[in-house]
Amino acid sequence: MLRSTLLKLADNKNLARWVTSNASTRQMSHRFVAGETLDEAIAATRACNDAGLLVTLDCLGENVCTAADAQKARDIYIQMYERIAKEKLNANVSCKLTQLGLDVSVEFCEGLVLSIAERAANYDSFLRIDMEGSLYTQRTVDLVKRVRSQTPCVGTVIQAYLYRSERDIQDLLAYGCRIRLCKGAYKEPPDVAFPRKSDVDANYTKLMRLLLSSGFYHAIATHDPRMIAATIRYAAENKISKDDLEFQMLYGIRSDLQRMLVRDGYRVRIYVPFGMEWFPYFMRRLAERPANIGFFIRNFFHS
Ligand SMILES: Cc1cc2nc3c(=O)[nH]c(=O)nc-3n(C[C@H](O)[C@H](O)[C@H](O)COP(=O)(O)OP(=O)(O)OC[C@H]3O[C@@H](n4cnc5c(N)ncnc54)[C@H](O)[C@@H]3O)c2cc1C
């Protein structure tokens, strides 16, 4: 119930305006967001690299409704690759299609994604297309396949809570696509997504096995120690090397687990988000763990 309310509020533009312009809440967002500028994100990336963690950088923003805003987002993504290369950081980039104009037109969005992917290829890097709400799933899968046929350094994300995900994985694997597996962070109706956490977890394990057995390099994105243990166990049983997969976690969440996996010789990549449009991302993080709300309320009244 609380999760559902928080996810609904994530789309409230008036609340977003108030929260992102308030000094106390801006300060609190730093728990999950590296900062509002690329410089701050680069500093956070360096700190991660120094701790043995890889990074994927994301400039926050979604559902832009003008071509000009999408172009602006595209320019920032190009700049990100340039800074990563110039500063010799071990990082790649993640983006959202609705930030690159998917709601404006699929063709327009595809052109922008292709230009970013070409820049990624020039730098021998990688572009991950995040997965958004289920209204966008088919368009995302189709666009990723088309862009990959021209520039293969592109991968995407599959959400274990969707009933359709096994089919999408089979479809994408036929194109050699690298996949990040996550549980899924949006508000979805019961006719498209498993309502029960136990079913999402069971599907996560099933899909993880499918990915690890595919022979391609995938990312297991979760903070759930049970999913991580199941992955490690399955990899060991099937002689899949630590270099053939990576774990991924979000900036500011379970740093202890991140460090433990690095110490045990696993690759761990941290999703480092930055930018002014942090409100929906922030709300999704609260929804994942409502206990976070108490922490934020206490900080708000003490600041
Ligand atoms: C690298 C990465 C990229 C992602 N990309 C996408 C994407 O493209 N599309 C998408 O829909 N979702 C994405 N997600 C979010 C994902 O779908 C989940 O919502 C999120 O990871 C929480 O699920 P979990 O696997 O950690 O398991 P859960 O069962 O939700 O949590 C397991 C444990 O992790 C810890 N934890 C989880 N979330 C939080 C939090 N917010 N604050 C504090 N502790 C927490 C808690 O200890 C919790 O008990 C991504 C996640 C990661 C790690």
Ligand 1: does its nearest atom lie under 6 Å from the Cβ of 35?
no
Q: What is the DSSP string of 9-68?
A: HTT-HHHHHHHHH-HHHHHHHTTT---SSHHHHHHHHHHHHHTT-EEEEEE------SHH
Active site residue 180: yes
Cα 248 to averaged position of ligand 1 atoms, centre (Å): 10
Q: Which of 5-19, 43-57, 104-118, 203-217 has the lowest mean pLDDT?
A: 5-19
Give yes or no for a contact between 98 and 132, defined as CB atoms under 8 angstroms apart.
Answer: yes
**Model-level pTM greater than 0.85?**
yes
Q: Which residue is catalytic, options 58, 103, 130, 201?
A: 130
Give yes or no for a contact between 159 and 184, defined as CB atoms under 8 angstroms apart.
Answer: yes
pLDDT digits (tens, 9 = 90+) for 160-212: 999 999 999 999 999 999 999 999 999 999 999 999 999 999 999 999 999 99
Closest ligand 1 atom to 130 CA? 8
pLDDT digits (tens, 9 = 90+) for 229-241: 999 999 999 999 9
Cα 17 to averaged position of ligand 1 atoms, centre (Å): 25
Q: Cβ–Cβ contacts within 10 Å for residue 137, how many?
A: 19
Angle at 55 between CA 101 and CA 212, to 5 degrees: 90
Cα 183 to averaged position of ligand 1 atoms, centre (Å): 7
Q: Does pLDDT of 300 surpass 70?
A: no
pLDDT digits (tens, 9 = 90+) for 111-169: 999 999 999 999 999 999 999 999 999 999 999 999 999 999 999 999 999 999 999 99
Cα 296 to averaged position of ligand 1 atoms, centre (Å): 18
Give yes or no for a contact between 93 and 57, defined as CB atoms under 8 angstroms apart.
Answer: yes
Ligand 1: does its nearest atom lie under 6 Å from the Cβ of 222?
yes
59, with CB counted inside 10 A (0-12, 13-18, 19+), is: buried
Active site residue 39: no
Ligand 1: does its nearest atom lie under 6 Å from the Cβ of 97?
no
Ligand 1: does its nearest atom lie under 6 Å from the Cβ of 128?
no
Encoding tokens for residue 18?
A: 């108030």
Cα separation values, 90 from 48, 83, 244, 277, Å: 9, 11, 17, 25
Closest ligand 1 atom to 286 CA? 41
Ligand 1: does its nearest atom lie under 6 Å from the Cβ of 221?
yes
Residue of 207, 136, 220, 142 lying closest to 180 (CA atoms): 220
Cα 284 to averaged position of ligand 1 atoms, centre (Å): 9
Q: Which amino acid is at 259?
A: R
Residue of 32, 7, 27, 9 lying closest to 299 (CA atoms): 27
> Phi, psi at residue 195, to the nearest 5°?
-75, -25
**Residue 245: helix, strand or coil by DSSP?**
strand
Ligand 1: does its nearest atom lie under 6 Å from the Cβ of 288?
yes
